[in-house]
Amino acid sequence: MEYYSNKEDILNKAKEAEGKTFGEIDLYNRLTENKNKGNLGQIIEESFFGYQINSNPEADFKEAKVELKVTPYKINKNKSYSAKERLVLNIIDYNQEYKYEFFTSSFWKKNESLLLFFYLHDYDKSKEDMLITNTLLFEYPEEDLEIIKQDWSLIKQKILDGQAHEISESDTLFLGACSKGANKSSLRSQPFSSELAMQRAFCLKQSYMTQILRKYVFGDQTDEKIIKDVNELKINSLENLIITKLKPYFGKSQEELLDIFMLDTKAKQVNEVLLSRMLGLEGKISTTDEFKKANIIPKTIRIEKSGRIKESMSFPTFKYTEIINETWEESQLYELFETTKFMFVLFRFGHDNKLYFENVKFWRMPTQDLECLKEVWERTIQVIQNGDIVKRVLSNGNFMTNFPGKTDNPIGHVRPHAQNRLDTYPLPVMDKLTSLCHYTKHCFWLNNDYVLKQLY
DNA sequence: GCATGATCATGC
DNA sequence: GCATGATCATGC
């Protein structure tokens, strides 16, 4: 058995796997014999590097401090590449992790540097036919490491606060704590609360992995950064730095801001452009390195003079044929709110009818609210499955539906979101009342009054 | 007045 | 062509 003790040798060996399928590498028929079928990492460890599989707290290549990981990516409709999943790392032992500092943590001990085997995932292929296309020895860039340190500290703080059961992947930016285990009943004890917490593992978020893939594997151009000086991140969080940069503009009207940045009112996208200017960016905030890696979605909210928000908040449409086959924990809705952080950009109408930039708030959906939203998701599936979408036809020809409405749930509801009524998705079950086999695209909306409550 | 259905506008 | 943010229209 060869022994790989330095990074160069390890990477050179890894390169030999590029262009091979898992079937070609698998010497011990792990794939075909159907046991441990999921674990492609084990095949690489055992058949390719020739070492015994272990679950040490140290990295796989202990001496070189390199952890081996196999991870899939996909090609999108628009030909770009995306990581298919988050990169799941070691399980968090709530009863131990809080005792450490970042550089003595279990995360750092095991994942200080990563040897990544990227393979192209293809739904039409079995695992043995999927191709390893690229390998990468990855070390965290300095500016990323500062954010990862903050992420780790936040997770540690939640354990210290007896809040391990409230941890969510959307708490943090690059390094997450994702749920791990067969199901929700994989619970663990925590040191500062009697409440059991879901078993979680450290992970690099899917959005972070996508950026790694694009930048280091496919050599895409680096995206613009909000924080240009790493040192700023050593003393403050990304969120606080953004708020600090925006604070001088709080209370200014849209007109004043346009004036300051010498812009013409070109309607619609003004607020997004203004936000960019206030942060000193050339492009949109949603396309910055930090926002893409952390999966932060900016949302503009306009508060009326009356203090209410007129419109509810929309999200991507769902496909009727797909949603009915989802489980809650793997559903697109759960994934969205479990992993996404939102940046609410608040504007308020003054008594002079002018729009004033008021504040910025980073928000993620609290765990119990997400559980409440589950009822909306369940009801939606039920309605689709029963072919029970249309409740009755209104006098003007519009359809009234049985989808959960705003009054049915405090968090969210289901409503159309389409070009027009003829912009549809196919139905898995024919609608009983109308005999329709396609129905207008719908999506989940967050209730306007719920959103308002989140601001204060 | 507002919940709900429907659609517009923009940009990729 | 369509996703997405934004907003309109109207029946109850």
CA of A397 to C1' of B4 (A): 14
For the ranges A9-13, A203-207, A285-289, A340-344, the lowest mean pLDDT is seen at: A9-13
Distance A408 CA to C9 C1' (A): 23
User: Rounded CA gap, A392 and A89, in Å?
Assistant: 51
Using C1' positions and the CA of A419, the closest nucleotide is B7
Asked if A77 CB < 7 A from strand C, the reply is: no
Count Cα atoms within 13 angstroms, Cβ side, for A248: 8
Strand B nucleotides below 7 A of a protein CB?
2-12
Q: Amino acid letter at A373? A: L
Check if the beta carbon of residue A289 is closer than 8 Å to that of residue A144: no
At A255, the pLDDT band (50, 70, 90 cuts) reads confident
pLDDT of res. A38: 53
In the sheet that holds A296-303, the strands lie side by side as A296-303, A341-349, A355-363
Token look-up 């989808």 returns A403
**pLDDT above 70 for A183:** no
Q: What is each CA distance from A358 to A55, A355, A455, in whole angstroms?
A: 51, 9, 11
Nearest alpha-carbon partner for A318 in A424, A205, A198, A218: A424
pLDDT band at A116 (very low <50, low <70, confident <90, very high): very high
Residue A444, classed as helix, strand or coil, is strand
Distance A351 CA to B7 C1' (A): 30
A61-110 tens-digit pLDDT: 888 889 999 999 998 877 889 999 999 999 999 999 999 999 999 999 99
d(CA A402, CA A97): 47
Alpha-carbon dihedral A327, A333, A335, A341, rounded to 10 degrees: -160
d(CA A255, CA A271): 11
Report if CB A268 to strand C is under 7 Å.
Answer: yes
Condensed to tens digits (0 to 9), the pLDDT of residues A262-284 reads: 887 666 678 888 899 999 998 88
Nucleic strand C near CB of residue A314 (< 7 Å): yes
Residue A202 pLDDT > 60, yes or no? yes
Q: Which nucleotide is nearest to A395 (CA to C1')?
A: C11
Tokens of A184: 């929700």
Q: How far is the CA of A22 from the C1' of C6 (A)?
A: 48
Q: How far is CA A428 from the centre of its chain?
A: 28
Question: Are A276 and A249 in contact, with CB atoms under 8 Å apart?
Answer: no
Give the residue with minimal CA–C1' separation from C3.
Answer: A316
pLDDT digits (tens, 9 = 90+) for A69-79: 999 999 887 78
d(CA A328, CA A339): 14
Pairing relationship of beta strands A438-440 and A424-426 according to DSSP bridges: antiparallel
Confidence of residue A35 (pLDDT cuts 50, 70, 90): low
